[in-house]
Structure 1
Amino acid sequence: MNALLPPSQAFGLLAGFAAVMIVLVIFLDTRRQGSQTREHFLVANRNVRWWHGSLSIAVSWVWAPAIFITALQSYTKGIAGAFWFIAPNILCFFLFAPLALRLRTLVPNGYTMPEFIITRYKGSKYAHIAFLLVFFGYQIGALIINALAGGTLLAVLTGVNFHLCVVAMSVTALIYSLISGMEASVITDVIQMLMILLIGFILVPFVLVEAGGMQAVLGGLGGVSGEFGNILHPGIAFAFGIPMTLGLLSGPIGDQMFFQRAYAVRAHHIIRTFVIGGLLFGIVPILLSLLGFVAANPAFGIDVADPQMVSPIVIAYFLPQWALLLFTLMAFAGLASTIDSAYVALSSLGAIDIYKHYVHPNPSDTQILKASRITMIAMAVVGTGIALLRPQLLWVFLIYGALASAGFFPTILSLCWNRITANGAATAVVASLLVGTPLSFYANITGNETLVVIAAIASIAIGGVILLVNGIMNKEPTVDFAHMEH
């Protein structure tokens, strides 16, 4: 399909956005009193207000799917597809909130989830490396997916060269992340989420007014085929709902972005931060799903050449060109926010879990900051480089999904059950990866819907079963949680 925007306008807008974010972070950093410390760079001095934290975690979850795939699901699978994409995307925040509070209670001055694992399992390198594989791999996956999907979709939308789009997003987020780490991420997240909400509340109602009101939405609730008007359509619930729900609920539990923000917000605001963050996030896919319903309404006969681009296609159909510029800005803000959060999360894993535990046991703040920034730059080169090679997006999704699923029960039970052993936890992670990943690949490549569901369940269940047996067979506690809390 042809570009919907002139490249010069789109590139000028994105360059302006990047300049504003970078200048803002530099300005705020110059006003900071004292030198940077690991506390400041990695967890924003553990003093992030709940509303800043809520906006930050909400926009960090606005991956490429939330911007583009929501409308695709409502267009192709109707209200059933929209429901099974949006509901677990919101519920995952509610599941994560008590786990975040639990981690902060057990290790109030920690930085990462794998760091808790090595403490919980008394220095076990096997357990630590197994969990580090999950968390490090997941963050690299987040970087690759958002750079790849964002670069592809922005290139199609604007006509700007794909490689330039990828590099622009990655470098913009890298520059301001290098300046002040978590503080920069939170500051820019707040602005980007407010920008996304404002643009969404301008564009979508404007489209509905031009389309004739809510009747335009109601006419497309069944999707483009008209078959999926039942929100609990059994076929969609089975083939799409089960894998999507399991994958999305697992996501935050394998995501250092979430755990890092659990350490950054004020301790007594953790639950509020994540619950409100989930509700704020939900506004974005709900709003954008309405565009998919409008596109599916046969009364308009909108030609959707590429269903992934249904949102901008609908906006271009009903609104002037300035509206497409706003949507481009919205998409860039959402993608950049996730990429910068991935950089900061990777910096904490590199500095704390690799440098501190395996290179220099007693590093100074200066050494931690140097290790953090080196990790960011190295991962930017790796992640952006892989994205520029244009790997199959499905393969990247499957790998990062398998990583999250493998860490689901091992992470939860490591936090909550004192009879899990280090070998049990590590074996659960490794077994889930070794069995679940190839099964998921085979199921999705062959397109066997039943096997896709089995693979999604197996990827999570394998670790759960191993740990259940491990905990039952091990009669003695392996950790004193009460002692850790004090």
Structure 2
Amino acid sequence: MLTNTNGILVFILYSIAIVSIVYLFRGKNRASDDFLVMSRKLGTFQGSLSMAVSWIWAPAIFICSLQSYQQGLPGIFWFTLPNIICFFVFIPIALKMKKEMPSGYTISQVFKYKFPNTKLPHKASLVVTLGYQLGAIVINCVAGATLISLLAGIPYSYGVVMMATVSLVYSLISGLRASVISDMIQMIMILGIGFFLIPWVVIEAGGFEAITNGIGGVTGQFNDLFDPVVAFSFGIATTIGLISGPVADQMFSQRAHAAKKGSLKKIFIYGGLLFGIVPITLSLLGFVGASEVMNGNIEVTDPQMVGPIVIDHFLPKWGLILFALMAFSGLTSTLDSAFCAVGSLISVDLKENALLPKCDTITLARIGMVFFAVVGVSIALLQPKLLWVFLIYGALAASIFLPTFLTLFWRRTTAKAISLGIIIGFLVATPLSIYANVIGNTNLIVLSAILGLTLSGLIVSIVSVKN
């Protein structure tokens, strides 16, 4: 692995480069509309790169290789397929949202627009959307800090602060514009480094045989693509969480609102396809790792970090440095997107809240970013497991998916039905998912995701029909 000095130096140089690029290309427009939605001029090329890399967060960098290592082919199948499909599922929702609110900023505004006479549906949606962004901040800080600690022996707590700070700094400069500028650079880095490193590792490991030997995972038992054990224990909860994710994730809605006329659909189609390349490619590290462990050639002490462990085993130190840069690019891209999403939710949806200071939109957005950075860092310092956080906020997202869809596409929905659906879905699914993940109960993890989706949808449907 790297020395402390080398690890810190890599991170500092990366941080300086990204902050400098954002500052130089921040633009001259200082209006709030530019800070929040890039003056609604996000094009297809910028948008698809930005959307793809914003979804390449800790799960796409680390959980993909973790799943291929532990659960082989079906593990990566159930992670990658819904991750790509969710982009396409979100397109009709985004188009309808944009049509209903051409001057909108957030997904939560849908509920304010549809139910102008009551605040409860809007407030209920904000609990979920802000909670989802908090989860994004936490999981990426955890992944980045774990990687920094593994690579260079830097204390985990320092790594958490380092990850949050650099992303926050350049997000504060120019909001979504800063995020998109950095996203383009980061996506190019991820694809370039990934296409260079992964084939090199495979060649060093013995070629295609190294992949096929590990295709069943580290135990060798998961060769069936539709293995029922993996489909139940991981596939159901993951699919529900990932398909629901874009609706709860203001990062998606913010870019939908920012898209130029005619670009929205293309942004999500190309973004989804570009995204899919990354977990498929990185999953090969998990297969190689499984093969090498079974052959007794390496020891994987932390399955979450099987990717960098495999690279460290086969490649020179500078190969590990490149992987670190790739990982930092993916993690910070999602962190900055999460901060920008929080900024829009706070400054638009909570602007008139009595607890918030009376100030201009951009200042309020920046205050929201800083506050959530502090809260996210505090939670990340508790060092939760990556898979825990991933599954928990998947259950959280499930509670808003059907209420949002029904609000947009079904005229009979009522404020009472939507409020009850979101609140009950959230109160049942999220605490149950937290408890289930902590105690490691697979049945309850799956149940929490199912309940989050079905309870919210059934309650909205039943209450709306009765009224």
TM-score (normalised: structure 1): 0.92
In the alignment, structure 1 residue 275 sits paired with structure 2 residue 305: no
Gaps of 5+ in 2: none
Q: Which residue of 2 aligns with 1:20?
A: 17
- Aligned to 2:350, the other structure's residue is in SS state helix
Distance 1:172 1:272 in 2: 30
Q: Which amino acid aligns with 1:451?
A: L
Distance 2:5 2:174 in 1: 31
Quick one: percent identity of the two aligned structures? 48
Q: How does 1:57-96 map to 2 (within 5 A)?
A: 57-96=51-90
Distance 2:258 2:387 in 1: 33
Q: Which residue of 2 aligns with 1:304?
A: 300
Q: Which residue of 2 aligns with 1:172?
A: 166
Q: Which amino acid aligns with 2:290?
A: A
Q: How does 1:288-327 map to 2 (within 5 A)?
A: 288-297=282-291, 298-299=294-295, 301-327=297-323
Q: Which residue of 2 aligns with 1:444?
A: 437
Q: Which residue of 1 aligns with 2:108?
A: 114
Q: Indicate if the aligned counterparts of 2:193 and 2:323 stay in contact, CA closer than 8 A.
A: yes
Measured after TM superposition, the shift of residue 392 of structure 1 is 6.0
The correspondence for 1:239, drawn from 233, 240, 245, is 233
Q: Which amino acid aligns with 1:186?
A: V
Distance 1:135 1:190 in 2: 25
Q: Which residue of 2 aligns with 1:342?
A: 338
Distance 2:185 2:256 in 1: 20
Q: Indicate if the aligned counterparts of 2:238 and 2:394 stay in contact, CA closer than 8 A.
A: no
Distance 1:451 1:168, change over 3 A: closer
In the alignment, structure 1 residue 383 sits paired with structure 2 residue 376: yes
Q: How does 1:411-430 map to 2 (within 5 A)?
A: 411-430=404-423
Measured after TM superposition, the shift of residue 417 of structure 1 is 0.8
Q: Which residue of 2 aligns with 1:328?
A: 324
In the alignment, structure 1 residue 402 sits paired with structure 2 residue 402: no
Q: Which residue of 2 aligns with 1:149?
A: 143
Distance 1:396 1:286 in 2: 22
- Aligned to 1:347, the other structure's residue is in SS state helix
Name the count of aligned residue pairs: 465
Distance 1:184 1:142 in 2: 18
Q: Which residue of 1 aligns with 2:460?
A: 467
Distance 1:224 1:387 in 2: 29
Measured after TM superposition, the shift of residue 442 of structure 1 is 3.9
Measured after TM superposition, the shift of residue 402 of structure 1 is 3.0
Between stretches 289-298 and 339-348, larger displacement belongs to: 289-298
Measured after TM superposition, the shift of residue 324 of structure 1 is 0.2
Distance 1:103 1:172 in 2: 32
Q: Indicate if the aligned counterparts of 2:48 and 2:270 stay in contact, CA closer than 8 A.
A: yes
Distance 1:318 1:394 in 2: 26
Between stretches 17-26 and 148-157, larger displacement belongs to: 148-157
Distance 1:48 1:242 in 2: 34
What is the root-mean-square deviation of aligned Cα atoms in Å?
1.9
Measured after TM superposition, the shift of residue 360 of structure 1 is 9.6
Q: Which amino acid aligns with 1:52?
A: Q
Deviations 1:129-187 (A, max 9, x none): 10011111111121122112321232122212222211111111111111100000000
In the alignment, structure 1 residue 10 sits paired with structure 2 residue 4: no
In the alignment, structure 1 residue 97 sits paired with structure 2 residue 91: yes
Deviations 1:329-387 (A, max 9, x none): 111111111110111000001100111466899x9xx8111111111122222222332
Q: Which amino acid aligns with 1:305?
A: T
- Aligned to 2:108, the other structure's residue is in SS state helix
- Aligned to 1:268, the other structure's residue is in SS state coil
- Aligned to 2:202, the other structure's residue is in SS state helix
Distance 2:391 2:408 in 1: 26
Distance 1:447 1:169 in 2: 28
The correspondence for 1:125, drawn from 110, 119, 127, is 119
Distance 2:432 2:271 in 1: 34
Q: Which residue of 1 aligns with 2:185?
A: 191
Q: Indicate if the aligned counterparts of 1:398 and 1:437 stay in contact, CA closer than 8 A.
A: no
Distance 1:171 1:442, change over 3 A: closer
The correspondence for 2:257, drawn from 246, 259, 263, is 263
- Aligned to 1:113, the other structure's residue is in SS state coil
Q: Indicate if the aligned counterparts of 1:104 and 1:267 stay in contact, CA closer than 8 A.
A: no
Distance 1:8 1:301, change over 3 A: same
Measured after TM superposition, the shift of residue 441 of structure 1 is 3.4
Measured after TM superposition, the shift of residue 272 of structure 1 is 1.1
Q: Which residue of 1 aligns with 2:38?
A: 44
TM-score (normalised: structure 2): 0.95
Distance 1:219 1:385 in 2: 41
Q: Which residue of 2 aligns with 1:217?
A: 211
Distance 2:141 2:176 in 1: 20
Q: Indicate if the aligned counterparts of 2:247 and 2:404 stay in contact, CA closer than 8 A.
A: yes
Between stretches 371-380 and 227-236, larger displacement belongs to: 371-380
Q: Which amino acid aligns with 2:139?
A: I
- Aligned to 1:303, the other structure's residue is in SS state coil
Distance 1:44 1:422, change over 3 A: same
Q: Indicate if the aligned counterparts of 2:128 and 2:426 stay in contact, CA closer than 8 A.
A: no
Distance 1:85 1:397 in 2: 11
- Aligned to 2:360, the other structure's residue is in SS state helix
Q: Which residue of 2 aligns with 1:477?
A: none
The correspondence for 1:371, drawn from 359, 364, 368, is 364
Q: Which amino acid aligns with 2:71?
A: K
Distance 1:55 1:281 in 2: 9
